[in-house]
Amino acid sequence: MKKKQLSKSLISALSVLLLLSGCGETASPKPNTQPEDNSQTGTYSTQKNESSDDIWIKEINTAQKSLDIAAYLITKEDLANAILDAKKRGIDVKVITDSEKSNSKTQKEILDKFRQSGIPIKINTPTGLTHLNFIIIDDTETLGGSYNYLEDGANENDASTIMKKPDIVKEYSVGFNSMWDNANDFENY
């Protein structure tokens, strides 16, 4: 019981942290501003003719050692292919996703490709949703936001934030690892 409460508290804390991380010293951040160094937080706002996919794929392609992915749903082939390509490059990739959505046709096909390529996958045990959407890259940056990895969520939405502040990235890493190691609430796919 305590572990489930801890897991739910951790997910709630990560959600609040994600929301707060988009708040900066200025009232409205410049759209499409990329962080200049590892101590800044930049907010990407998808503009007309842009796609959150392009932003996320570009960042996934910069991975040098690891990708820790928490995703409610992954049905975008190009995003899935970027993740598979990272694995082929020798990047350590781990995925946590929702158990209910893991049974949908497209999601299942993608997760099966991940598993066949050696990517370990964990799903929540059937108690509520795992509706997190973030990727931790090399423990140095976190991509987050409300962007769902599906066609409808990719275009013309302000849905992506890239965070490079070490304290924020560390909190996401702690949260991800806590879920990954929680055998009561998460199981192998």
* For residue 99, pLDDT beyond 60: yes
3-state secondary structure of 41: strand
The residue written with tokens 């929540």 in the block is 124
pLDDT in tens, 22-32: 444 333 334 44
Domain total in the chain = 1
Among candidate residues 163, 180, 152, the one with its CA nearest the CA of residue 19: 163
Does residue 95 contact residue 121 with C-beta atoms inside 8 Å? yes
What per-residue string of b and e applies to 73-103 under the rule 16 or more CB within 10 Å gives b? Answer: bbbbeebbebbbebbeeebebbbbbbbbbbe
The partner residues of 78 in beta bridges, in order of sequence, read none
Does residue 97 contact residue 107 with C-beta atoms inside 8 Å? yes
Domain that holds residue 154: 2-188
Predicted pLDDT at 22: 46
Does residue 145 contact residue 133 with C-beta atoms inside 8 Å? yes
Predicted pLDDT at 173: 97
Both tokens assigned to 128 = 């509520």
CATH number at residue 147: 3.30.870.10
pLDDT in tens, 106-146: 899 999 999 999 999 999 986 777 778 899 999 999 988 76
